Structure 1
């Protein structure tokens, strides 16, 4: 660990996403999404394509060759990828790992980005596993579930706890090269099947203290992007995946409705009153959730620019993220129901969208408990450690 981890050098010097490159990638993802589900991961060539369009450098600091794009810019990129496939969008959303990693010491970050800014980070925080101090740092052991994107990662972080850690209950993350970690393939789920969210196993790996960070702790350097709350940003990056999935599902039903006749002789779908009502309701639901999401994002970004981030604004962002995930799941449920038997096939995008959006809304950062925590803060009460 004293030497820089072996990073993959960027294949192309790209500072921003080009429209043509992104369009070609999205077409490829749509054509291959069943492949992702069968393989239980996003293939390496797609991860390399994410690098080329700037997913992993988007939030890296400019001093390391990154783009330092705004939170809204990054979320719009993830939203578009998620429209093509939810699993691909979910894995791409971990490009927000650059914001997490910025809490490492600056000297460590120089080693992280020694070969360029396109560093793929993945990991799993909970449950926190006890680590032991040693002369060289911390001895890390344990098993962590839900390590999304781990098969394609170069760096992996895991949540640890120490008896004498003075971090006020915040999680400490131990970061290590991916080749120090074993992946236990067990991602047998109904949705987001291509995310590779397997268990990861760490066996007596020594992690120097300078390769650990405090989740939600202060970054190594200042700037608007680094003042933007990292835990809140992580919830956002996950939630926008649901918006992209729901947009894809609703668009498919609308296209289907314009020309699909019933095998029973009923009118074309677009002529049926109940479908007109439900499509209108779903469209309003999705647009409202998306608008709230980006409105809260821009408000929080404005405060980060002015170095005046307020807990109320951060709470509203967490609320907007949870609302986006849960409303998106409802839209996908409506779309799937309107499609009738068409949505029953396992290779159907509508079946996939319903299951994928359900999994997004089940995430610990977006489930119903986060609504309660947001409500407590909005009513002037305290909230659990780490929220918002």
Structure 2
């Protein structure tokens, strides 16, 4: 009951209207700057500061530390809207939800983290996990980690350590200050090029045990968001980036359909039956996958608000719906390319860039083919077949 009362608090109408206008301004600025981010391969601090201003990086901060927790579906909607403008920025912003991981830190550590305010940017290079020598105070961290999306603007960084007896085998994350890490800008990709998913190098830094947490471990904060399945939420925020990218591809296809005739003299795209059919199919597929995805999120959130824990079956459905949305989103973009003639073969064509962006969520370990196997196993009463499924 306490959790439900905390979550029911809502901003006043004037504040909500102001926040909405601010978010629209951020989207407008992003349209002007997305090529800049792509070319430099990361979203810079000044734009991340804009995302802070509209609440992206306090949406998962504990209310006791000044956070404005959003129901997951509301946060997912914001990430989808950002991703429809620029997938890379949506991807970086999605890690505003990663503060749910930090809820597993001791309360004293969290108080130190949020000492300067609730808007905290956390970026992690979690793989490959590197063994850290135990010390009297904690762990001696040394190694190199990949895929630290958003690290260039992060306030704190995390690196992945293997599980141990104290963590019941679940992996740990060591939390460090940026000045304790070296960022190596190794990121040459065709999709999500602007995410700055660079490597992190740490050399012989002792991290106190209280500055490590178990990923998916029990939260030290008893607030609603931290009872929503943590790993499932981490999967959802990535999947919805793909949905935003697919929406951008559909918007392009619908706009271009009536304006370009083929160089062979063929009719405009919108005058070709196969093009109209593919656009309609893509629209139906994306809307259907989104509807299931958001409905499930609301269902599980209502379970949490009622003071109950999400069931294994609900977690499996969340993971399944996320993997499905990521795949459908990628399929939508590729299907539109197939019916768009020779235009998309050119470097820099919008659909080619969007296809690369849509590929990334689908390929992520949280959303890959193995998730279907684990979800199916759980739904039939068996243990999941992949580690870290919950």
Tell me the number of residue pairs that the alignment of Structure 1 and Structure 2 aligns: 374
Partners of 1:254 and 1:125 lie apart in 2 by: 39
Is the 1:169–1:385 Cα contact (8 Å) retained in structure 2? no
Name the counterpart of 2:266.
266
Q: Distance in 2 between matches of 1:74 and 1:81?
A: 11
Separation in 1, partners of 2:57, 2:298: 21
- CA drift at 1:15: 7.7
- Counterpart residue number, 1:4: none
Query: Structure 1, unaligned stretches of length 5 or more?
Result: 1-13
Q: Which residue of 1 aligns with 2:87?
A: 86
1:302 aligns with 2:305: no
Determine if the alignment matches structure 1 residue 339 to structure 2 residue 350.
Answer: no
**3-state SS of paired residue (1:67):** coil
Retained in 2: the 8 A contact 1:60–1:99?
yes
1:312-353 deviation line (CA, Å, top 9, x unaligned): 011000000000001000001112233333323333321111
Structure-2 residue corresponding to 1:138: 139
Task: Name which of structure 1's ranges 266-275 and 314-323 shifts more when overlaid on structure 2.
Answer: 266-275
In 1, Cα distance between the equivalents of 2:115 and 2:166?
A: 31
In structure 2, how many angstroms separate the alpha carbons of the residues matched to 1:38 and 1:305? Answer: 43
2:55 counterpart residue number:
54
Q: How does 1:51-130 map to 2 (within 5 A)?
A: 51-130=52-131
Q: How does 1:236-315 map to 2 (within 5 A)?
A: 236-306=236-306, 307-315=308-316
Is 1:366 aligned to residue 367 of structure 2? Answer: yes
Alignment-derived partner of residue 8 in structure 2: none
Deviations 1:78-128 (A, max 9, x none): 000000000000000000121111111111111100011111000022222
User: CA shift at 1:58, angstroms?
Assistant: 0.9
What do you get for the CA RMSD once the two structures are aligned? 1.6
Write out aligned runs for 1:34-49 (5 A). Answer: 34-49=35-50
**What is the TM-score when the length of structure 1 is the normalising length?**
0.93
Judge which range, 14-23 or 48-57, deviates more.
14-23
Q: Secondary structure at the match of 2:157?
A: strand
- Match of 2:382, SS? coil
CA distance in 1, matches of 2:343, 2:265: 16
- 1:377 paired residue number: 378
Any gaps of 5 or more consecutive residues in structure 2? Answer: 1-13
Aligned structure 1 segments of 4 or more residues deviating by more than 6 angstroms = 14-17
Deviation (angstroms), 1:47: 0.7
- Residue 20 of structure 1 deviates from its aligned partner by 2.1
